[in-house]
Amino acid sequence: MKPSEIIALLPYSKPFLFVDGVNSISENEICGYYTFRKDEYFYQGHFKDNPITPGVILTECMAQIGLVCFGIFLLKDELQTTKKPQVALTSNQMDFYLPVLPGEKVIVHSEKEVFRFNKLKCKVKMLNKNGELVARGVISGMLKA
């Protein structure tokens, strides 16, 4: 399955799509990226005169790349290309280390811990363009083809 096919199956659209591309993917890990555009809707109020990307949005970006894109790849043999998979985030634990500013590109790496009965649990980390750790944690979710 090609990265463009995975992205086409995501159950999200702008302004809530936080995946620009997938660099690499295998049965055990995925690496993808997103650039937070300067005109993203959430910068208007977070924070006034000093915009930074909210942690919940960073978590969502990590979940979309590190859990949903990855899960679509892992379920590729069961998926119908005309129907988007159903996804439910079941848990996450994140630690944040650096802010992400408007216009900044981030890279998400995700490593599979467990994939059983359509439940995927991954260790994820987000890096900035300098390779510095922005956030890391564990995300779990259920996927249905």
Residue whose C-alpha is closest to residue 93's, from 122, 119, 117:
122
pLDDT, tens digit (0-9, with 9 covering 90-100), for 87-133: 888 999 999 999 999 999 999 999 999 999 999 999 999 999 999 99
Three-point CA angle 70, 79, 82, nearest 5°: 115
How many C-beta atoms lie closer than 10 Å to residue 76's C-beta?
14
Range of the structural domain that residue 95 is part of: 3-144
Catalytic residues: 46
Tell me the per-residue pLDDT of 10-42, one tens digit each, with 9 for 90 and over: 999 999 999 999 999 999 999 999 999 999 999
| Each residue's pLDDT tens digit, 64-92 | 999 999 999 999 888 766 677 888 889 99
Q: What's residue 77's pLDDT?
A: 83
pTM of the model: 0.94
Q: What is the CATH number of the domain that holds 36?
A: 3.10.129.10
Instruction: Quote the number of domains for the chain.
Output: 1
